[in-house]
Structure 1
Amino acid sequence: MKFDLHTHHERCGHALGTIRDYIEAGIRHGLTVIGISDHSPYFASDVDREQPGIAMAKSEFSRYVEEVLKLKQEYSGKIDVLLGVESDFFPEHAALYRTMYEQYPFDYIIGSVHLSGGVSIFNKKRWNGLTDKQKIEQKELYYDLIQQSARSGIFQILGHIDAMRGFYPAFADIPTEAVDRTLAIIAEQDIAIEINTSGKTKDCGGWYPHDAVLERAHHFGVRVTFGSDAHKPERVGDDWELVRARLKEIGFKEWVYFKQKERQIVPL
């Protein structure tokens, strides 16, 4: 069976198309399961829509859930539509986010770190003028946040765990044991990481995480899932067969998706 758990739509302000467009694309691409997982609002903000080009408004969140649940019913028997969300992780606001999500029947929640040290992980300038030691510190700060997100108990999936290399490919070569420590914690918490194929659209030119991290994930027994991170309908399911083949080469025997927060195991 073929699935894709990471898709967006126009509510977030930087994706194209409606939720229905992504579901129809999933059907065209032969998916059995499609997860809708748009960016969560900034729940701790004093304004309704913080960062309009990044995430949906707080006032849109319940409407988002309602639309996905309605489409889930409409497409029943054609494709299994899952209710997800890609959540930012801010340690200081974790309790608030947990409370918000408990109000809705999510099939899964993806936890993604997009800000580290108060700066976007995709900001190329954050690396300018840093010494080698400072680069290590930045990488370890990022992975500390991912470790905290793994231990938070909020998420079933962690999103794009090396996306900081998206516009700074040299990130992968910064030497630190933080990646192994993080993977060990993720395995201990028994949650999944996604193979996110949107990295191919960035300067790094490959999936998140890259092969070296996937090989270490396999070593630690980390479970894996698939997400295209599609921001336009034509990317739904992008590289699914290639990812499946690569995982088998690395030694994985299965991958997973989540329904009603229960893990569903799919043989590779």
Structure 2
Amino acid sequence: MKALFDLHTHTLASGHAFSTLRENIESARQKGLLAVGTSDHAEKMPRANPALFSNYKVVRESFEGVRVFCGIEANICDFEGTIDVDDSLLQKLDYVIASLHSPCIQSGSIRQNTNALIRAMENPSVKIIGHPDDSRYPLDYGALVSAAKKRGTALELNNSSLIPGSTRVGARANAKKLLEACKRNRASVVIGSDAHIWYDVGRFEEAFALINEVGFPEELVLNLSFDGLKMILNSKSHRILPAF
């Protein structure tokens, strides 16, 4: 399997990452990726820089042979799936990841946590649910995958969660449950590195190993085709996916 893109990456603007956008793009090129997305944290995350997103217009559509997409990792703020990104900004982004983060929302019951993710999917700009693999936010994977399949939302297989020492709890076992449920329902996943430093951009080894372990169908992994990338991009984005 050869991934073509990585959309879940962070820069210094997230407040707790270590690299610049240029360093991330260069790392993507070195890894052989044809496209990379930058998705810093939205405003409710401590030390995030919300002014960044209004200036995405200065980012070139390609750099050093790598196609660059400008997104955001939105924080889900309540069990109704409210995200901390206003509608005017959503229209300007290439894609939106929506995630549960402990500084932004306390965990509830399985039903409440699952409902928060499902309701976030009702926002048409949200095409990816980030790292649904943390036992600190227990989930009903059957209900989550069924909703994602119905809405055409991609569930993320987060490589960072699978790396030893990850702060997420029980992520490998939960990611395996997620993949098994997606396999049964023919629901798509997108692999994200969740890189917070340049050398982790495009790092998918742990995710691919788990995919192989459970026999997950390659055609359901969006990173392996540009049709998969098109499924994730915001149709109202000012950037148009070129021919590669």
- TM (norm. structure 1) is 0.71
Aligned length: 221
Structure 2 matches for 1:104-123, cutoff 5 A?
Answer: 104=92, 106-115=93-102, 118-119=105-106
Structure 2 matches for 1:82-101, cutoff 5 A?
Answer: 82-90=69-77, 94=82, 97-101=85-89
Amino acid at match of 1:161: P
**1:74 matched to 2:74:** no
Aligned-residue offset at 1:224: 0.9
**1:261 matched to 2:225:** no
Distance (Å, rounded) in 2 between the aligned partners of 1:208 and 1:11: 31
Distance (Å, rounded) in 2 between the aligned partners of 1:51 and 1:15: 12
Q: Which structure dedicates a bigger proportion of its chain to helix?
A: 1
CA distance 1:88–1:117, change in 2 (3 Å): closer
8 Å CA contact 2:46, 2:103 repeated in 1: no
Q: Structure 1: which 5+ residue stretches go unaligned?
A: 43-49, 122-136
Aligned-residue offset at 1:192: 0.5
Distance (Å, rounded) in 2 between the aligned partners of 1:83 and 1:226: 17
Structure 2 matches for 1:144-223, cutoff 5 A?
Answer: 144-163=115-134, 165=135, 178-199=140-161, 200=163, 201-203=165-167, 204=169, 206-207=171-172, 209-223=174-188
Match of 2:225 in 1: none
Match of 1:51 in 2: 46
Amino acid at match of 1:12: S
Match of 1:132 in 2: none
CA distance 1:30–1:207, change in 2 (3 Å): farther
Aligned-residue offset at 1:212: 1.8
CA distance 1:208–1:101, change in 2 (3 Å): farther
Aligned-residue offset at 1:187: 0.9
8 Å CA contact 1:195, 1:224 repeated in 2: yes
Match of 1:45 in 2: none
CA distance 1:4–1:93, change in 2 (3 Å): closer
Aligned-residue offset at 1:245: 5.1
8 Å CA contact 1:108, 1:258 repeated in 2: no
Aligned-residue offset at 1:96: 7.4
Amino acid at match of 1:145: A
Aligned-residue offset at 1:261: 2.7
**1:11 matched to 2:25:** no
CA distance 1:138–1:193, change in 2 (3 Å): same
Q: Structure 2: which 5+ residue stretches go unaligned?
A: 223-227, 236-240
CA distance 1:232–1:207, change in 2 (3 Å): farther
Aligned-residue offset at 1:29: 1.4
Distance (Å, rounded) in 1 between the aligned partners of 2:91 and 2:132: 27
Distance (Å, rounded) in 1 between the aligned partners of 2:97 and 2:4: 19
Deviations 1:84-126 (A, max 9, x none): 111112357948735133441x22111112259942x5xxxxx
Distance (Å, rounded) in 2 between the aligned partners of 1:94 and 1:196: 22
Match of 2:203 in 1: 238
Aligned-residue offset at 1:2: 2.6
Distance (Å, rounded) in 1 between the aligned partners of 2:96 and 2:184: 25
